[in-house]
Structure 1
Amino acid sequence: MNQGFHPKVQQVQAALHAGGVDVTVRQIDESTPTAAAAADFLGCDVGAIANSLVFMADDEPILVLTSGAHRVDTAHLAARIGAAKVRRASAEQVASATGQVIGGVAPVGHPTPVRTYLDVALLEYDELWAAAGIPASLFPISYADLLKVTGATEVEVD
């Protein structure tokens, strides 16, 4: 791993390899904090961006890996996962749960495991892209590898 990489990016790379996923994270020269920005940078469909979004399910943080082309219907998601209420986490809750900042949250590399859900709409794409711990980082991954490395529960989010 490039020693010049940000420590958060190195943590994500290590977590991917520890989970048996052989992909290489990329630290880039520009921030891509939104799915649209990442898709523009990569030249791919915005739906192929696997957004890592943190929500509070009742009082527990959860991570939802969703297609950049989708908006999470929180009422629908709550019903699907058996929560009374799901709401977006605050910036402080995101940082506390993942150790990462909004716009750079990765599917892995968190200080403690976060219950994770994977949007089945991402199955449409052979190659997905996700943030790697900071807004100026990305990595390619297949749906199957993303499911494997996160231990996520598959769900429809909208």
Structure 2
Amino acid sequence: MNEAGEGGSVGRVRAALRAAEHPDTISMFPVGTRTSEDAARAVGCTVAQIAKSLVFRTRGSGRPVLVIASGAHRIDLAKVAAVVGTPIERADGRWVRETTGFAIGGVAPVGHAVAPLVLIDAALMVLDRVWAAAGSPMHVFETTPAELARLSGGRIAEIAETGSA
């Protein structure tokens, strides 16, 4: 079910999708889509097809680093740091909300308050369709991995832990 009237963070995602000429595929799931497992169950897809968004920050400068990965994979922080070229650290929920404009569980790949450096795990690129958070823990949007890369401006990299799935 599409929700036409949300404002706030879901509205920012909808506006970013429209500005990029992407169809409005945002759907709301009252049961929630906070975790990859919750989202997959709500949408009716595999956990691997959930494009989870994780926010980190560069050590020192505090620049946001958005990592988009398959819900079935864990991220290797050393690989992320190597791609970024500087050490990274986990970001707490308050910093994530202040910097991105999204609460954890609803961080979208587009519509950020501060433009992050975006990395996309290469494992996502082999899938036909993916679903990503759309600004709240109850909203997701459907897209293709290629469109996700285009929308986010993300760099594709091998950043999953070896053997994670």
Given that residues 3 and 28 in structure 2 are in contact (C-alpha distance below 8 angstroms), is that contact kept between their aligned partners in structure 1? Answer: no
Q: 2:45 maps to which residue?
A: 44
Moved more, 53-62 or 98-107: 53-62
Partners of 2:49 and 2:4 in 1: CA distance: 29
Aligned residues: 157
CA contact (8 A) 1:99 1:111 kept: yes
Match of 1:106, as an amino acid?
A
Aligned to 1:78: 81
By how many angstroms is 1:24 displaced? 2.0
Q: Measure the CA separation in 2 of the matches of 1:60 and 1:152.
A: 15
Q: Which residue of 2 aligns with 1:136?
A: 138
How far off is 1:40 after superposition?
1.2
Deviations 1:15-46 (A, max 9, x none): 01112222321122121100011011122110
Name stretches of at least 5 consecutive residues in structure 2 with no aligned partner. 161-165
- In structure 2, give the amino acid aligned to 1:38: A
- Per the normalisation by structure 2, the TM-score is 0.89
8 A Cα contact 1:63 1:116, kept in partner: yes
- SS of residue paired to 2:114: coil
Normalising by structure 1, what TM-score?
Answer: 0.93
Look up the equivalent residue of 1:60 and give its one-letter code: R
Equivalent residue number for residue 99 of structure 1: 101
Structure 1: 5+ residue runs without aligned partners? none
| Percent identity over paired residues | 40
Deviation at 1:72?
0.8
2:123 maps to which residue?
121
